[in-house]
Amino acid sequence: MSSRQSAAPFVIGRRGALALPWAIGVAALGGGCRSRGIAFEYDGGRAFSREERAAIERCAEGAVAEVRPLLPALATRLVLRVSAGTDVIPETGETATAYPPDAVAWVVDATREGAVIATARAQLRFTLFHELHHLVRDAALPRRSLLDHVVAEGLATAFERDSAGAKPAWGEYPEGAARWVKELEALPPKVDVSLWLYGRHPDGRRWVGLRAGTYLADRATRALGKTAAELVTTPTSAILEAAARAPG
């Protein structure tokens, strides 16, 4: 999930914490291969077995093949950078970060036996639907405000739900989600984006920005009669305007 809020760009990891731009060069990677328009790069800090790599690459190739017809502006050549780590989404055992225009970094918790293959099969397809939506949107519309982040995350979440069949907890919003949107709109320009998107609010709410963003995405798609894929490069202001006039 890429964003540009200042002259020094930073990147936001999928439903996780703020992450620095990918700092591991190809020379530091444990190996790489290119298949069907995807270059796979593996962080040398943890050796991935042949079976693990095969599972990851099959899942990734299948997801990309599904996404391309839905997002024609997706880069022709993509890079998937794979590493092991424990700073992941507890519910899924993995997390990811999009680096526009063509790269996704995927981190998987490999501490449990068989976890890499199981997590790749269960989660990587959904994750890539989400992150590939970000690649297209963020390349066209760099994020500069909290609401840019909220809308981008909401559209990507709606896309992984509607097009991939995912049921992410961060895509579920309460009946009072409109109040959350007003709360986000009232925040000052310099705010902890990571807290509002991925953290837990002091009152116990989690993923406030993503859930409010999905609410906005759903209202905008109804008002405009378009899918989250078709709205991938629609500006934040237009999404907000459409959401405001949606019935109900």
CA distances from 239 to 4, 229, 244 (A): 19, 13, 9
Q: Which is nearest to 5 in space by CA: 144, 134, 139?
A: 144
- The predicted-structure confidence for 38-61, as pLDDT tens digits, reads as follows 999 998 788 999 999 999 999 999
Instruction: Quote the tokens at residue 87.
Output: 């700073």
Q: Which amino acid is at 60?
A: A
Q: Which is nearest to 149 in space by CA: 185, 180, 193, 182?
A: 193
Pairing, β 38-43 against β 78-84: parallel
Q: With 70 as the cut, is the pLDDT of residue 34 above it? A: no
Q: With 50 as the cut, is the pLDDT of residue 152 above it? A: yes
Q: Which is nearest to 217 in space by CA: 193, 203, 197, 234?
A: 234
Q: Which amino acid is at 201?
A: H
Q: How large is the average pLDDT for residues 106-115?
A: 92
Q: With 80 as the cut, is the pLDDT of residue 175 above it? A: yes
At residue 41, φ and ψ (nearest 5 deg) are -125, 130
Q: Which domains does the chain have, with CATH numbers?
A: 2-140 (3.30.2010.30), 146-245 (no CATH)
| Res. 7 pLDDT band, cuts 50 70 90 | very low
Q: How large is the average pLDDT for residues 7-24?
A: 42
Cβ proximity of 212 and 181 under 8 Å:
yes
Q: Which residue has the tokens 């290119």?
A: 34
pTM for this structure?
A: 0.88
| Res. 33 pLDDT band, cuts 50 70 90 | low
Q: Which amino acid is at 195?
A: L
- The predicted-structure confidence for 178-226, as pLDDT tens digits, reads as follows 999 999 999 998 899 999 999 999 999 999 999 999 999 999 999 999 9
- Per-residue pLDDT, 26: 34
Greatest C-alpha distance within the chain: 54
- Per-residue pLDDT, 16: 47
